[in-house]
Amino acid sequence: MSDIIGHFISGKLETAADDRSGPIYNPSTGEEFARCAYGSRATLDRAVAAATEAGRAWALASHATRMGVIFKLRELMVASIDELAEVIGREHGKTIADAKGEIGRAIEGIEFAANEPHVTKGEFSANVGGDIDVFSMRVPVGVVGCITPFNFPIMVPTVMMAMAVGTGNGVVWKPSEKVPTAALIFARLLQEAGLPDGVFNVVQGDKEIVDGILEHPGIAAVSFVGSTRVGEYVYQKGTSHNKRVASFTGGKNHMVVMPDADLEAAASAFVSAGFGSASQRCMAVSLLVPVGEATANALRELVVDKMNALKVGPYNDPQADFGAVISSESKAAVLHAIEECIGAGAELVVDGRGLKVPGHDNGFYVGPTLFDHVTMDMTFYKEEIFGPARGIIRAASLDEAIAITNAHDYGNGAVIFTRDGKSARRFMGEVEAGMIGVNVPVPLPVGYFNFGGLRRSKFGDSHLYGPDAARFYTKYKTVSQRWPDPVQAGGAMSLAFNASA
């Protein structure tokens, strides 16, 4: 009998599955080692009721009380790095080193949430007229639904929920059913940090719970990270139910390399940013865009040498550069994309198909794969490949490289490697991407800057990190007040539209 990974509601673990459950695999071995409980609408109703009731009191808690929990959470997260990294590696397949890097960025999100009293301050104007003072204040939106992806089991949720809790909201979190265990560890840490039971709840599940969150009248706002197809659905359905929705979706990030760039550094950056975590990152570099044939030929040779040195292995192999993809379905999808690109006429330079990891024959592995002479009419250019298959698309000039980058539906990130400030300045100004790197391969900002893409990489006008996240989890109230002299008689009545009367 497999272990059941269940829910966390009102401060208690619920280990019994409802009517349905799904498998949890170790991608490194391909073995099912546990089952994830799939909650029902009734499960969700209980979680929302708990978040609503406990959230009322939590919304009235002082900033000092809330920040005490946030500071303690950071301390506990630091102490739990090894435990979390092991769970993330086992369920996701990423290496322990990569998992620890993810946890470090999660801790950075907690640190920024400690700034909540500052970033949610309101405004005040004294005596706008007739002894009336006007001030604004930010208050919690209510109950927040968080829907998070498999590729960052702890970083993305922590960034969302540290700020959601810090601003005084109740939370219902649906983690990916592929990586559910880190959610229960995080729930335990919040409880140990002193968060009142019921404020934070975890409901495991699949599409039924996603739809429930989007439709539930007790949920005021929804934060989502995942694929573009699902993210657009979440945004449209959630907003149709009058919810505030922030939906962060896919990317097809281009890396332009100019002839004057340090090609050795650019090649290292491309391989690192392109293949880390088996390329299962929305900020991964997908397409290398060298400018000029000489640049392309020299860069390709360097990239191939570095790719051939990569080691693929199980998550707990300290020598592995990256591990397996998340599932057998994901592996099949990557292999299909490779076959399709071969059929479209691209040149297969490095072939990662058929990779075998000794002792792990059933693991979901795909080796690093590289195509050259990719063109814009190919599916390989148009679609996000969530696995270690990358491409080179050659450009004759910076103008063409910018045009190639901007022609794509996605606009998550884009980077340029160059020594020329004018080229970099043009790139920053003309490229339609939410996050831009100049000689930086993964332009993921630090936690106190806003994170979010453009075009079909984001739906809604909010951001995941930074001050804009605090604004997403709060709503404005504006108060106009006057305190008459208690001994003064009332004045004459006027029906004129005049705020100062």
pLDDT tens column, 237-250: 999 999 999 998 88
Cβ–Cβ under 8 Å, residues 214 and 234: yes
Predicted pLDDT at 457: 74
pLDDT in tens, 20-77: 899 999 999 999 999 999 999 999 999 999 999 999 999 999 999 999 999 999 999 9
Predicted pLDDT at 196: 98
Output 404-409 pairs: Cβ under 8 A, ≥24 positions apart.
404/254, 404/289, 404/376, 405/254, 405/256, 405/289, 405/431, 405/432, 405/433, 406/430, 406/431, 406/432, 407/376, 408/252, 408/254, 408/381, 408/382, 408/455, 409/228, 409/252, 409/382, 409/455, 409/456
**Confidence grade of residue 444 (pLDDT, cut at 50, 70, 90):** confident
Fold matches, 3-249+457-479 and 253-438 = no
**Confidence grade of residue 18 (pLDDT, cut at 50, 70, 90):** low
pLDDT in tens, 71-129: 999 999 999 999 999 999 999 999 999 999 999 999 999 999 999 999 999 899 999 99
HEC letters along 2-66: CEEECEEECCEEECCCCCEEEEEEECCCCEEEEEEEECCHHHHHHHHHHHHHHHHHHHHCCHHHH
pLDDT in tens, 368-377: 999 999 999 9
- Measure the CA–CA gap between 454 and 434, rounded to whole angstroms: 5
The percentage of residues in the chain with a pLDDT greater than 70, rounded to a whole number, is 96
Predicted pLDDT at 488: 63
Predicted pLDDT at 248: 85
Which is more confidently placed, 486 or 231? 231
**Confidence grade of residue 491 (pLDDT, cut at 50, 70, 90):** low
The ranges assigned to domains in the chain are: 3-249+457-479, 253-438
Predicted pLDDT at 501: 45
- Average pLDDT along the chain: 93
Please say if the pLDDT value at position 1 is more than 50. no
In CATH, what number does 253-438 get? 3.40.309.10
pLDDT in tens, 454-476: 677 777 787 888 888 889 999 99
Predicted pLDDT at 222: 97
Predicted pLDDT at 105: 93
Query: In the numeric block, which tokens belong to residue 96?
Result: 């322990």
The percentage of residues in the chain with a pLDDT greater than 90, rounded to a whole number, is 82
Global pTM value: 0.92
Predicted pLDDT at 467: 85
pLDDT in tens, 253-300: 999 999 999 999 999 999 999 999 999 988 889 999 999 999 999 999
Please say if the pLDDT value at position 17 is more than 60. no
In CATH, what number does 3-249+457-479 get? 3.40.605.10
Predicted pLDDT at 416: 95
- Residue 268 one-letter amino acid: S
Please say if the pLDDT value at position 143 is more than 70. yes
- What is the helix, strand, coil percentage profile of the chain, to 5? 40, 20, 40
**Torsional class of 428: left (φ above 0), alpha (ψ -120 to 50), beta (otherwise):** alpha
Active site residues: 282
Please say if the pLDDT value at position 252 is more than 80. yes
Predicted pLDDT at 212: 97
